[in-house]
Amino acid sequence: MCDACGGIADVSDGAAGRWPARRGLSRRTLLAGTALGAGLGLFGLGLPRARAATLKNGAWCNPALGYFPDGGHFGAPRGGGSHAGQDITNSTGTAVYAAAAGTVIRREWGGGLPARTGYGIVLSHGNGRYTYYGHLSAYRVSLNQRVSAGQRIGDMGATGNVTGPHLHFETHSGGLGAVVNPVTFMAARGVDLGGGWPTLDPDARGARVTAIQYLLNQRGHGLQVDGWLGPASTDAVKRFQRLNGLVADGQAGPLTWPKLVYSLRQGANGQHVRGLQTVLNKRGAGLVVDGDFGSVTTGAVRTFQSVNRLTVDGVAGAITWRALVG
Ligand SMILES: [Zn+2]
């Protein structure tokens, strides 16, 4: 749980030697009063459902794996104020990823935002949308750096006023400071902040679509691997769904993904391995996408599992896939 947030003022430096000494700010103010209104406004603009659905376009992904601690939800009372983000708890050093492509506009204590504490990063995603990552133990990007969705930007930590290590994650829509509920903001974009499978609508693009195309080609579909869930790929998804007794809507969601992925280990070779290598690269693995699950790919799987606190066995099973594509 986090302070901006409330709780015990623990300003012990979790990454001695890596950070300049700095005491925590303790001012607690109302953070989300106007933001709650902005959050409701997101769905109050009269946008038709079809428009909202296109937000599941592959641009957004999960920033960190962990669990939601009690009282760590958006809007939870915090000393007369309101919790501005969603807390995601895991251990110090757990990887923190950019939730979407953007630019690092703040890399400082509390992200330069009022009442936040701990080392933080603010990413700008354009169109008045921002994400904030608080209580970090390490930065892995520099100020003004351009980042891609899924790129590791920092490490989870316990800097600032916290009761333990976690990521304090905020989503702003309509300008910096206009916080909205991260769980619903991300869900609207096909991301389960709780760590579930993502949802990609027809017309989505990106590495996960590339992976879907490879996974379908492993089953003989012969799709052009272009990272676009266009008409041909959407039809292939629908055929796959029909064969598996699913609703054939062409949407790659929580029911489709588990049937689509393969459990892969060293020695495997094929299009499905290319899919795995593609999503590992989205998370920074830097592999050659050659379809050969050799020792280098095994090492990349083990590294990914380790920094996400999964069982480190080098085998890409359903849980590892879910974390990779989430
Ligand atoms: Zn928090």
Measured in Å, residue 93 CA sits from the centre of ligand 1 at 17
Q: Provide the CATH topology of domain 207-325.
A: Muramoyl-pentapeptide Carboxypeptidase; domain 1 (1.10.101)
Measured in Å, residue 85 CA sits from the centre of ligand 1 at 5
Measured in Å, residue 133 CA sits from the centre of ligand 1 at 10
Measured in Å, residue 123 CA sits from the centre of ligand 1 at 17
pLDDT tens digits, one per residue of 87-108: 999 999 999 999 999 999 999 9
Measured in Å, residue 146 CA sits from the centre of ligand 1 at 25
Measured in Å, residue 125 CA sits from the centre of ligand 1 at 21
243 to each of 246, 256, 270, 325, how far by Cα in Å? 8, 11, 22, 23
Measured in Å, residue 175 CA sits from the centre of ligand 1 at 20
User: Exposed, middle or buried: residue 87 (CB in 10 Å: 0-12, 13-18, 19+)?
Assistant: buried
Measured in Å, residue 110 CA sits from the centre of ligand 1 at 11
Measured in Å, residue 84 CA sits from the centre of ligand 1 at 7
pLDDT tens digits, one per residue of 154-191: 999 999 999 999 999 999 999 999 999 999 999 999 99
Mean pLDDT of 245-272: 98
Domain boundaries, the chain: 33-188, 207-325
Residue 218 confidence class, pLDDT cut points 50, 70, 90: very high
Measured in Å, residue 87 CA sits from the centre of ligand 1 at 5
244 to each of 241, 248, 257, how far by Cα in Å? 5, 9, 11
Counting residues of the chain whose pLDDT is more than 90, the rounded percentage is: 83
Residue 26 has pLDDT above 50, yes or no: no
pLDDT tens digits, one per residue of 45-73: 444 444 445 899 999 999 999 999 999 99
Compute the radius of gyration of the chain from its Cα atoms: 20
Mean pLDDT of 203-227: 98
Residue among 66, 59, 6 nearest 31 (CA): 6
pLDDT of 175: 98
Asked whether this chain's domains 33-188 and 207-325 adopt the same fold, the reply is no
pLDDT of 53: 52
Q: Which CATH number fits domain 33-188: 2.70.70.10, 2.40.280.10, 3.30.460.10, 1.10.10.10?
A: 2.70.70.10
Residue among 285, 101, 321 nearest 211 (CA): 321
Measured in Å, residue 28 CA sits from the centre of ligand 1 at 12
Give the mean pLDDT of the chain.
88
Lowest mean pLDDT among 3-12, 66-75, 274-283: 3-12
Mean pLDDT of 213-224: 98
pLDDT of 273: 99
Measured in Å, residue 316 CA sits from the centre of ligand 1 at 31
Counting residues of the chain whose pLDDT is more than 70, the rounded percentage is: 84
